């Protein structure tokens, strides 16, 4: 069966696909993917029993030999998923022209920036965007397959842990516009070095330059500017705090949300952290490029509320929390500490969890973050084995820090010795689950 024929069946499903047989509600196309610990082919027939209209399976499997006319056997379901998404992306038109896709990646701020861009563009257009952080080899195709006949613009987030991730994802999403939020020290275990990070993320610029697209670029970021200059002739749409003559206004615990003075306007947000200013300006630049009235764009940004512990401010009965516990790397950790240090508050506590996937740089980076946090003069609680190693490596710098083996131990300490009247930063890699401590605050 050709990809065009499979796409025709997908359209019969009203564009609904799933890779989880438990999510079948009736009428979907089930795509049986395989992983290290699962094989979706084993659940294909069950998905049909549950109401799926079709099941895409690998040749040679029990499901493929079932004789059920609703089973579609292909050499590789994963490749077919990507091919189907690519075909759909290329055969979706708006006013007779191929749908415009904005692709974005970066070390930090991808999801927040994507959500801000979605909010701004939605003030004028019907937008399909990546849900949550479904930004990998499976998430990107599934995001593209959510594009429907109402979609006028698509915003696709692309993540990377390895050198060739973005290069693969751009061949599927085929963006017309590109945006790299920043490049920093993250996933060094996979990338090998900071230069490896730049090369991997730069594959988005490579695609944009090769296909005569345009790139939104933070003109204040020397790394991004240097990367753009290496792709001579790439069309750029600049933004940035200095470039836009913007001013980040000071925050206090009573009014901790980011505010930006931009000309005669004050852009108010529900984000916490000055590091989000460039994300806001990126969204405004995208809105301007697509003709969204600035008043509508500013209103959309002011109404956007972050979720999933991404730059969230929480007021409990006893404390003010800055919850940024979805992910952490040296770049984002330093940015969070910058913001936390600038906040005026009489009693501050930093609850910091390990940063994952730093490879050979892990000890050095944890020592640096620990040293900086302990020099801020606030209470510091460190969680995880990497910070434990850092404390052993630099005991003098760590003398002011408390250590806990995991977030459950930290939560137990906070439960036994409650904290009141504090402004608290909660930050760590997702695997450390720093949000476990939040109910005790």
pLDDT digits (tens, 9 = 90+) for 198-238: 999 999 999 999 999 999 999 999 999 999 999 988 999 99
The answer to whether residue 130 sits within a structural domain is: yes
The answer to whether residue 81 sits within a structural domain is: no
Cα–Cα dist 55/248, whole Å: 52
Cα–Cα dist 158/106, whole Å: 8
Cα–Cα dist 415/396, whole Å: 28
- 234 and 256, same structural domain? yes
Q: Identify the three-state secondary structure at position 146.
A: coil
- 324 and 298, same structural domain? no
Boundary residue ending a domain (33, 48, 75): 75
Q: What is the pLDDT of residue 233?
A: 87
Q: What is the pLDDT of residue 311?
A: 66
The CATH number linked to 335 is 3.90.190.20
- 272 and 393, same structural domain? no
Q: What is the pLDDT of residue 308?
A: 60
The answer to whether residue 406 sits within a structural domain is: yes
Q: Identify the three-state secondary structure at position 267.
A: strand
Q: Which residues make beta-bridge pairs with 349?
A: 379, 424
Cα–Cα dist 98/75, whole Å: 29
The CATH number linked to 53 is 3.40.1390.10
- 286 and 180, same structural domain? yes
The answer to whether residue 87 sits within a structural domain is: no
| Residue where the block lists tokens 């395989």 | 34
Boundary residue ending a domain (50, 75, 100): 75
- Kind and range of the H or E element at 45? helix 44-49
- Kind and range of the H or E element at 283? helix 277-289
Q: What is the pLDDT of residue 34?
A: 93
- 296 and 419, same structural domain? no
Could you list the residue range(s) of the whole structural domain that residue 158 is in? 92-303
- 23 and 146, same structural domain? no
- 385 and 250, same structural domain? no
Cα–Cα dist 300/294, whole Å: 10
Boundary residue ending a domain (277, 303, 329): 303
Q: What is the pLDDT of residue 306?
A: 83
In the 8-state DSSP scheme, what is residue 51?
T
Q: What is the pLDDT of residue 197?
A: 87
Would you state the structure tokens that stand for residue 344, as one six-digit string? 């005026």
In the 8-state DSSP scheme, what is residue 405?
S
The answer to whether residue 69 sits within a structural domain is: yes
Would you state the structure tokens that stand for residue 428, as one six-digit string? 């760590």
What total of structural domains would you count in the chain? 3
Cα–Cα dist 283/299, whole Å: 12
b/e string for 229-260 if b means 16 or more Cβ within 10 A? eebeebebbbbbbeebebebbebebeebbbbb
- 351 and 227, same structural domain? no
The answer to whether residue 399 sits within a structural domain is: yes
Cα–Cα dist 427/354, whole Å: 9
- 340 and 191, same structural domain? no
The answer to whether residue 83 sits within a structural domain is: no
The CATH number linked to 279 is 3.40.1190.10
145 closest CA partner among 343, 322, 297, 3: 3
| C-alpha of 217 from chain center | 18
- 55 and 147, same structural domain? no
Q: What is the pLDDT of residue 310?
A: 63
Would the pTM count as exceeding 0.75? yes
The answer to whether residue 85 sits within a structural domain is: no
- 423 and 396, same structural domain? yes
pLDDT tens for the chain, residues 1 to 441:
999 999 999 999 999 999 999 999 999 999 999 988 889 999 999 999 999 999 999 999 999 999 999 999 999 999 999 999 999 999 999 999 999 999 999 988 899 999 999 999 999 999 999 987 789 999 999 999 999 999 999 999 999 888 899 999 999 999 999 999 999 876 666 777 888 889 999 999 999 999 999 999 999 999 999 999 999 889 999 999 999 999 999 877 677 789 999 999 999 999 988 889 999 999 999 999 999 999 999 999 999 988 765 667 888 999 999 888 777 889 889 988 988 888 888 899 999 999 988 888 899 999 999 999 999 999 999 999 999 999 999 999 888 899 999 999 999 999 999 999 999 999 998 889 999 999 999
| Size of the chain in residues | 441
Would you state the structure tokens that stand for residue 198, as one six-digit string? 């730049």
Q: What is the pLDDT of residue 275?
A: 87
Quick check: 145 and 10 in contact, CB under 8 A? yes
- 210 and 164, same structural domain? yes
Quick check: 103 and 165 in contact, CB under 8 A? no
Cα–Cα dist 272/314, whole Å: 10
Cα–Cα dist 168/441, whole Å: 43
């Amino acid at each position: 069966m050709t990809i065009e024929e499979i796409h025709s069946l997908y359209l019969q499903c009203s564009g609904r696909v799933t890779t989880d047989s438990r999510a079948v509600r009736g009428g979907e196309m089930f795509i049986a993917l395989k992983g290290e610990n699962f094989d979706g082919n084993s659940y294909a027939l069950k998905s049909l029993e549950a109401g799926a209209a079709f099941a895409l399976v690998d040749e040679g499997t029990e499901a493929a030999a079932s004789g059920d006319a609703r089973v579609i056997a292909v050499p590789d379901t994963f490749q077919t998923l990507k091919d189907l998404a690519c075909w759909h992306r290329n055969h979706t038109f708006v006013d007779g022209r191929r749908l415009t896709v904005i692709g974005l990646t970066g070390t930090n701020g991808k999801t927040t920036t994507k959500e801000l861009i979605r909010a701004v563009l939605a003030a004028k257009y019907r937008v399909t965007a990546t849900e949550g952080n479904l930004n990998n080899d499976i998430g990107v195709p599934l995001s593209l397959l959510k594009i429907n006949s109402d979609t006028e613009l698509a915003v696709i987030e692309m993540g990377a842990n390895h050198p060739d991730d973005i290069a693969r994802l751009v061949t599927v999403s085929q963006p017309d516009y590109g945006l790299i939020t920043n490049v920093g020290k993250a996933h060094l275990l996979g990338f090998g070095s900071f230069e490896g990070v730049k090369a991997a993320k730069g594959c988005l610029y490579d695609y944009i330059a090769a296909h005569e697209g345009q790139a939104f670029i933070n003109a204040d970021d020397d790394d991004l500017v240097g990367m753009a200059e290496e792709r001579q002739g790439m069309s750029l749409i600049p933004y940035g705090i200095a470039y836009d003559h913007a001013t980040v206004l000071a925050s206090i615990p009573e009014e901790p949300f980011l505010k930006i003075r931009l000309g005669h306007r004050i852009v108010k947000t529900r984000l916490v952290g000055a590091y989000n200013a460039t994300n806001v300006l990126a969204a405004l630049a995208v809105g301007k490029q697509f003709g969204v009235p600035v008043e509508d764009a500013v209103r959309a940004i002011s109404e956007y509320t972050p979720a999933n512990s991404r730059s969230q401010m929480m007021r409990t009965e006893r404390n003010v929390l800055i919850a940024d516990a979805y992910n952490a790397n040296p770049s984002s950790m330093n940015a969070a500490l910058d913001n936390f240090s600038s906040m005026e508050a009489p009693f501050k506590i930093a609850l910091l969890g390990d940063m994952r996937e730093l490879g050979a740089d892990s000890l050095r980076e944890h020592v640096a973050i620990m040293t900086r946090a302990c020099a801020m003069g606030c209470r510091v609680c460190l969680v995880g084995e990497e910070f434990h190693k850092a404390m052993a490596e630099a005991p003098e710098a760590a003398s002011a820090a408390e250590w806990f083996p995991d977030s459950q131990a930290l939560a137990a300490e906070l439960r036994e010795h409650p904290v009141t009247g504090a402004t608290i930063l909660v930050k760590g890699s997702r695997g450390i689950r720093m949000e476990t401590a939040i109910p005790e605050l």
